[in-house]
Chains A and B, each alone.
Chain A
Amino acid sequence: QKEVEQNSGPLSVPEGAIASLNCTYSDRGSQSFFWYRQYSGKSPELIMSIYSNGDKEDGRFTAQLNKASQYVSLLIRDSQPSDSATYLCAVKGGTDKLIFGTGTRLQVFP
């Protein structure tokens, strides 16, 4: 079992829809969770961090964390073509190391 798992996609959504990206992790002791956006040929860009159970909203982005289910998600409301990118889930576990998933490719079509 991989430490951080994501569906590779692509996830295709129409412009204006809600995109839902999911991530599961194996280390039950993990305390810090991050979402990075990575455009093709570019480096990862931090868009959300979440540390406690529940929802955290920042503009069109909402991160959701459920530690009991070892599940973290990212919702993108009013998706735009410019949101088309790979979204990387990253989890900081007991080793104090940030473990990345392989990413989910999101495609937003007009």
Chain B
Amino acid sequence: EAGVVQSPRYKIIEKKQPVAFWCNPISGHNTLYWYLQNLGQGPELLIRYENEEAVDDSQLPKDRFSAERLKGVDSTLKIQPAELGDSAVYLCASSPRTTNEQFFGPGTRLTVL
């Protein structure tokens, strides 16, 4: 079974530029999560989707971050404009309807210069 796929794996941009991350969850997993992980910290939830509906986006900085999950499968997370403090690893995870277990993709390491 293929795991969660994310792209790109690495991204370096200058501040104020836009950036987008893409995630394809494990086939059949209806719940998709975007997390942010800073060095030395655990992942922190940004947004959770149940199918195509964002059911928890309370931690998403909506002034600059946006996300979508059209058709309830792939998802895109966007930052516009990026700030220096956005440098982190952005992780996508998915879980099936039947369990609470979340499985992570490889992440995208973002560096904002």
Contacts and interface: CB of A to CB of B under 8 A. Distances in A.
A88 B42 contact: yes
Contacts of A100: 42-44
Contact of B104 (A45, A96, A101, A102): A45
Interface residues on B, range: 20 to 34
A43 B41 contact: no
Interface residues on chain A, size class: 20 to 34
Interface string A30-57: 0010101000001111100100000000
Interface in B21-59: 33, 40-45, 48, 56
A17 interface: no
Given A43-B106, A98-B45, A102-B40, A49 B91 contact: no
B63 interface: no
A88 B40 CA distance: 11
B100 A32 contact: yes
A60 interface: no
Given A43-B91, A43-B107, A97-B56, A102 B41 contact: yes
Contact of A49 (B33, B48, B100, B107): B100
18 contacts: A4-B42, A8-B40, A34-B102, A36-B104, A42-B106, A43-B89, A43-B91, A43-B105, A44-B43, A44-B104, A45-B104, A46-B102, A49-B100, A90-B42, A97-B45, A98-B102, A99-B42, A103-B40
Interface of B: 33, 40-45, 48, 56, 89, 91, 99-107
